[in-house]
Every structure is written in structure tokens, then in C-alpha cells.
């Protein structure tokens, strides 16, 4: 019996030494967290290359991430998404027809409440329309309205400037 206990103790000790006192799942989580910490300083934006995309059905052009996947592309809506390297966040872009007349920044902000945009941290009138930033947790949604088009770009907070750049790139071709 003593030999069995001794042998069991040696095997257990060897297993603990070989896996550094942690199981493989703990190691994987630790490595992923280290990767996220390295990427959380906004460097990811530098890796997202944009390209011009034209939707002839709705009549607009927009900058989109080169590696993005087009999820829908029709006369009633356009959606594209690029999953980021953390596999938890994305650059999500949607462009849809805008309804109703908007002639002021206050009118635009009021209209955004219909889209549940209740935490607007920035709003401005641009050369071609209106832009607003809505924060929800660690996600930022940038809304942009120009003519008969409305765009929504949702990204992690550290990519807000990229989202604003994409939003302002929307141009009507009709």
C-alpha cells in the first residue's frame, strides 16, 4: 500500500511539474489575455487596410476594411463585417436608405433615439451631412446621415477614429 501511495505521489508531482502547475486551459486563457493586452493600445487600427466599395443598387460608395466579408448587398441595405484578431469584436458597417427629412443636428439626434442611440457623446454637422457617436459599454457606434443614406459603423472604442473615417467616406452616386 505504501508503494502505491508513493508511486501516486511521484506521478502527481511529475504531472504538476510538466504543466507548470496549471492546466492547458488556464495556459490558453493566460496567453490570450496577454495577446489582448498587447493589442488594446489601438495598434489594431494600423492593421486595418481600407478599400473603396461601390453599391450600385442603392447608389453609394464607402470605405470598407479590405478583409471584410459582405453579409448583404442589395437595394434595401448593405452590411459588411471584419472580425478582429481577438475573435470577440468586429468592424461592422451597415448602410440603409434614410427615411424622413433631417435638416438640423438636433433633428438627427432626435431621430437616432429610434435606433436606441441614447448615449450620444459626440455630434456634429459635416460638409455632407450629420455624424453622431453613441457609446454602449466598450462598443462605439458611429451614425452618419447624408442625403437619402444612413450608415452605422460599430467598433470597439479604441477604433472610434477609424469608424468616423469610414462613416464620413459615404458618398451618394445617384
Domain membership of residue 33 as a residue range: 2-39
Residues 67 and 96 both lie in one domain: yes
| CA-based radius of gyration for the chain | 24
Give the Å distances, CA to CA, from 111 to 100, 106, 115, 155.
9, 9, 8, 21
C-alpha grid cell, residue 52: 473603396
The 10s digit of each residue's pLDDT in 110-132 is: 888 877 888 888 999 998 899 99
Answering whether pTM is above 0.85, one says: no
Residues 14 and 77 both lie in one domain: no
Number of domains observed in the structure of the chain:
2
**DSSP assigned state of 104:** S
Give the Å distances, CA to CA, from 2 to 6, 10, 15, 125.
6, 12, 20, 81
The 10s digit of each residue's pLDDT in 47-100 is: 899 999 999 999 999 999 999 999 999 889 999 999 998 889 999 999 999 988
Residues 94 and 145 both lie in one domain: yes
**DSSP assigned state of 24:** H
Amino acid at each position: 500500500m505504501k508503494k502505491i501511495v508513493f508511486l501516486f505521489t511521484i506521478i502527481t508531482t511529475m504531472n504538476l511539474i510538466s504543466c507548470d502547475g496549471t492546466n492547458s486551459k488556464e495556459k490558453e486563457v493566460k496567453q490570450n489575455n496577454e495577446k489582448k493586452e498587447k493589442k488594446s493600445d489601438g495598434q489594431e487600427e494600423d492593421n486595418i487596410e481600407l478599400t473603396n466599395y461601390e453599391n450600385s443598387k442603392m447608389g453609394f460608395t464607402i470605405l470598407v476594411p479590405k478583409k471584410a466579408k459582405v453579409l448583404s448587398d442589395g437595394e434595401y441595405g448593405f452590411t459588411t463585417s471584419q472580425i478582429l484578431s481577438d475573435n470577440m469584436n468586429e468592424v461592422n458597417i451597415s448602410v440603409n436608405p434614410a427615411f424622413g427629412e433631417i435638416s438640423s443636428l438636433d433633428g438627427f439626434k432626435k431621430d437616432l433615439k429610434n435606433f436606441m442611440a441614447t448615449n450620444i457623446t459626440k455630434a456634429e454637422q459635416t460638409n455632407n451631412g450629420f455624424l453622431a457617436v453613441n457609446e454602449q459599454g466598450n462598443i462605439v457606434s458611429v451614425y452618419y446621415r447624408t442625403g437619402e443614406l444612413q450608415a452605422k459603423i460599430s467598433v470597439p472604442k479604441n477604433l472610434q477614429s477609424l469608424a468616423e473615417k469610414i462613416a464620413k467616406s459615404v458618398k451618394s452616386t445617384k
